[in-house]
Structures are given as structure tokens and as C-alpha cells.
């Protein structure tokens, strides 16, 4: 069928290739091409039939996944879903993969891979569908922006800032393509930037490496959230993978709560959980930003923020890798302003 998403699996494990192929073949809109045991074999096959999406292992013989990814993104940008082990080393390697242009991450354990993959079948199919819908040329453009030196935006003194009785809070939600978008945005933030709370859809353990990476690159402090962390100017708190994060307030102080619980809007952490708590505890003292990502997580929470008087911004379609979450928020009437990614930082500073 011509409308099917063609997928090439590249993994040196025969078990992973077999199980992944079986799972994806069950999806009516996905066509699995003959899998490859390493990137060099894959390149030969890709010359005959270039896939719509590649599912790529990180550690492989002859050519590692990161090297192959960089080669593909430079020569023929293609949506790539990276498979990485659920370890600290795997998390750091995956940060390199996201920087190189991977669309999504799938985690896998060292042992019990067959059972794990079968249990994560829905996540695997969703990742492939999201990858197929992504604008990978935008990923390449963002990578070029990241490579350029960045000077933080000069803060703007707004006329309404002194009217507020509580410090401003900026709440940001993003998913597919968001790791690059957040890096571009946060690198523009000066040390006097308002406190930020962020949900980026990402697996457990990966958010720690992601936060550390951003902290090393940015003028502001970037941390993975822990229960009770204060939201203060010059600090961005990223929700830990596998947990929800919510804002709470004690007097004039904002803090975050880290919560267990089922996925909300199909995600944990969920942007909706964060945005709804920001609407409740910060109200008009908040500013909400919804950026690139598949689906609708955060759109309904942004409606609540907007109704409570928060100013709301959506990343525009042209600069999104996937114009999903912002599109739904706009459709629901929750967005005051849609902006290109490169202009969001200055707008945050002008309005807080």
C-alpha cells in the first residue's frame, strides 16, 4: 500500500530485529522493510528503497548509530527513532543522538529485551508514527542554530511588572523536537530570567542527562526537578522522566511537587498536569509556552492557564518539527500569540 510508513530497523541483535519487526508489522499503516544488522548493510539496502523512518540502535559493530545518524542527516535527512539502553551512559549517548537530529528515543534494558519490547509495543508504534509526521529538515535547521554562538537576550523592563504581587512563573511544554527547541530557547535566557518549570516528554533517567547538558550550556541554572525545589529567577526546572511535576505555592514562594500516577494525556510527565497546576497557583502571574510536539498534551491545560489570566504563547507552525500540541492549543482558543522559536525568548522577557 503506497500510504504505508516504510520502516527500516537497524540493530545488531537478531532478537531485537525480529521482535521489533513483528510489532510494527501489526500496525496497519506501517510496512517493515527487511531489517539490517549494521549501518553498512543498511546503506546498501537504502540505495534500493529509502525508508520513511529508521529505527536505529546506538551501539553496533563497524559503524555506531551516532556516526550513521550524522551521515544520514547530512546527506539525506530522514526521521530516525533511536534505541538506547536504559543506563546513565545510554542517556548521555542519546543526548548526542538528539543533538544530531534523532526525532525520538526508545529505551531498552540490557536483559529481557523481548518481553520489554512486546510490553512497549504501543510506544514503539507511536514513536514511528510521530517520526513519520515530523519535519526533519527543521531538525537540521535547528542543529545549525544550536551550533552558532548565542548571546542571552537583554531583559526588558515591562510596564506592568510592578503591578504583580508574586514573582512571575514561566511554564513550558514540549515533545517531539523539543530537546533542540528548548536548547535554542534557554540559551537566550539571561541570569535574571523568570523562574521556569518545564515538561519535555522524555523517558526516565534521560532527563537528568538532558538537564545537565543544558545547565552546562546556559547562563541560567537548569536542573531536573526534585520534590520541594523552589522556582526562582534564573532557574529552569525540568520534570523528571517517568514522573509528573506540578507547581504549588506557599505564601509568595513557588515550589514543585513530583508526583506518581498514571499517564495523563497519554504522557508521564504530562504538560497538562503542569499547566493546570500553574493555572491554579500562579494564575495571571504565569506565562505559558507550548512548543513543538505530536498530539494534544498541554493544550487543555493551556486553556485553563489562559482562563486564569496567564499570557500564552505557541511556537508557530513553520518552526515546529511537529505542529501538533501548539495547533490544538490554538484551535481551542488558548493562545494569545504564535511566534517563531527564535522570538519566544525575547517575548518571555518582555512580558514577565
201 belongs to the catalytic site: yes
Torsion from C-alpha of 214, 88, 133, 315, nearest 10 degrees: -20
The rounded distance, in Å, linking the Cα atoms of 306 and 277 is 13
Contact yes or no for 348/310 (Cβ under 8 A): no
Catalytic member of 85, 134, 175, 338: 175
Report the run of H or E that residue 66 belongs to, with start and end. Answer: helix 65-75
- Across the beta sheet with 80-85, the strand order is 30-32, 5-10, 53-57, 80-85, 104-108
Using DSSP bridges, classify how beta strands 221-224 and 311-315 pair: parallel, antiparallel or unpaired.
unpaired
Catalytic member of 168, 201, 211, 277: 201
- Which segments of 33-77 are extended strands (E)? 53-57
Using DSSP bridges, classify how beta strands 104-108 and 337-339 pair: parallel, antiparallel or unpaired.
unpaired
Contact yes or no for 201/267 (Cβ under 8 A): yes
The rounded distance, in Å, linking the Cα atoms of 337 and 332 is 13
- Angle of helix 88-100 relative to helix 65-75, nearest 10 degrees, comes to 10
The rounded distance, in Å, linking the Cα atoms of 114 and 109 is 10
122 belongs to the catalytic site: no
297 belongs to the catalytic site: yes
Which residue has 531536573 as its cell numbers? 224
Catalytic member of 38, 296, 297, 316: 297
- Among 29, 25, 55, 31, CA closest to 42: 55
Annotated catalytic residues are: 175, 201, 297
Amino acid at each position: 500500500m503506497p500510504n504505508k510508513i516504510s520502516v527500516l530497523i537497524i540493530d545488531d541483535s537478531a532478537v531485537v530485529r525480529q521482535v521489533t519487526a513483528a510489532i510494527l508489522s501489526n500496525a496497519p499503516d506501517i510496512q517493515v522493510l527487511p531489517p539490517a544488522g549494521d549501518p553498512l548493510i543498511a546503506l546498501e539496502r537504502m540505495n534500493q528503497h529509502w525508508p520513511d523512518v529508521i529505527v536505529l540502535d546506538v551501539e553496533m559493530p563497524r559503524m555506531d548509530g551516532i556516526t550513521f545518524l550524522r551521515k544520514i542527516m547530512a546527506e539525506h535527512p530522514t526521521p530516525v527513532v533511536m534505541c538506547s539502553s536504559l543506563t546513565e551512559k545510554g542517556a548521555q549517548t542519546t543526548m548526542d543522538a538528539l543533538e544530531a537530529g534523532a526525532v525520538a528515543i526508545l529505551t531498552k534494558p540490557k536483559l529481557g529485551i523481548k518481553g520489554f519490547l512486546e510490553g512497549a509495543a504501543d510506544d514503539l508504534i507511536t514513536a514511528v508514527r510521530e517520526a513519520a509526521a515530523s519535519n526533519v529538515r527543521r531538525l537540521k535547521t535547528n542543529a545549525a542554530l544550536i551550533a552558532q554562538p548565542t548571546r542571552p537576550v537583554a531583559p526588558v523592563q515591562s510596564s506592568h511588572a510592578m503591578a504583580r504581587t508574586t514573582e512571575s512563573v514561566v511554564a513550558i511544554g514540549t515533545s517531539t523536537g523539543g530537546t533542540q527547541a528548548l536548547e535554542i530557547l534557554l540559551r537566550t535566557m539571561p541570569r535574571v530570567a523568570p523562574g521556569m518549570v518545564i515538561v519535555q516528554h522524555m523517558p526516565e533517567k534521560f532527563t537528568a542527562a538532558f538537564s545537565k547538558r543544558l545547565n552546562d550550556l546556559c547562563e541560567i541554572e537548569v536542573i531536573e526537578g526534585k520534590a520541594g525545589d523552589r522556582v526562582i529567577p534564573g532557574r529552569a526546572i525540568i520534570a523528571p522522566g517517568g514522573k509528573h511535576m506540578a507547581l504549588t505555592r506557599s505564601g509568595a514562594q513557588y515550589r514543585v511537587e513530583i508526583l506518581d500516577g498514571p499517564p495523563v494525556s497519554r504522557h508521564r510527565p504530562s504538560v497538562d498536569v503542569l499547566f493546570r497546576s500553574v493555572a491554579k497557583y500562579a494564575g495571571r502571574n504565569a506565562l505559558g509556552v507550548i512548543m513543538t510536539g505530536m498530539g494534544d498534551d498541554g493544550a487543555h491545560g493551556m486553556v485553563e492557564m489562559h482562563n486564569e489570566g496567564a499570557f500564552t504563547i505557541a511556537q508557530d507552525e513553520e518552526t515546529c518539527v511537529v505542529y501538533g500540541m501548539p495547533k490544538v492549543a490554538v484551535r481551542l482558543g488558548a493562545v494569545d500569540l504564535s511566534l517563531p522559536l527564535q522570538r519566544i525568548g525575547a517575548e518571555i522577557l518582555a512580558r514577565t
